[in-house]
Structure 1
Amino acid sequence: MTSSIVYKGELRTEATHLYSQSVVETDAPLDNQGMAQRFSPTDLVATALGSCMMTIMGIKARDMQIDLTGTKIEILKHMKSEPRRIGAVDVKFILPAGLQLDDKQRTILQNAALTCPVAKSLDPAIEQNVVFNW
Structure 2
Amino acid sequence: MPTVKTTYLGGLRTESKHLQSGNQLITDAPTDNMGKGEAFSPTDLLATATGTCMLTTMAIVAQRDGIELEGSEVEVTKVMSQTPPRKVARLEILLKMKANVELSPAQIQKLENTAHACPVSLSLHPDLEQVVGFEW
Q: Name the TM-score, length of structure 2 as normaliser.
A: 0.95
Structure-1 separation of matches of 2:100 and 2:43 = 34
Return the match for 1:114 from 113, 116, 127.
116
Work out the CA distance in 1 between the residues paired with 2:104 and 2:19.
Answer: 41
- 57, 69, 88: which one aligns with 1:86: 88
Q: Distance in 2 between matches of 1:131 and 1:98?
A: 20
Counterpart of 1:129 in structure 2: which amino acid? V
The one-letter amino acid paired with 1:131 is G
Deviation at 1:60, TM superposition (A): 0.2
The question of whether the paired residues in 1 share the 8 Å contact of 2:53 and 2:120 is answered with yes
Q: Does residue 52 of structure 1 match 2:56? A: no
Could you list the structure 1 runs, at least 4 aligned residues long, displaced by more than 4 angstroms after superposition: none
In the other structure, the counterpart of 1:15 is: 16
Query: Is residue 70–residue 99 contact of structure 2 (8 Å, CA) maintained in 1?
Result: no
Distance of 1:118 and 1:96 partners within structure 2: 22
Q: Percent identity?
A: 43
Q: Deviations over 1:21-78 (max 9, x none)?
A: 1001100001000011100000000110001111111110001111100001001000
TM (normalized to structure 1)?
Answer: 0.97
Query: Within 5 Å, which residues of 2 pair with 1:92-103?
Result: 92-96=94-98, 100-103=102-105
Residues 77/99 of structure 1: CA separation in 2 closer, same or farther (3 Å cut)? farther
**Residue of structure 1 in register with 2:66 after alignment:** 65
Q: Secondary structure of the equivalent of 1:13?
A: strand
How far apart, CA to CA, are the structure 1 residues paired with 2:92 and 2:101? 23
Gaps of 5+ in 2: none
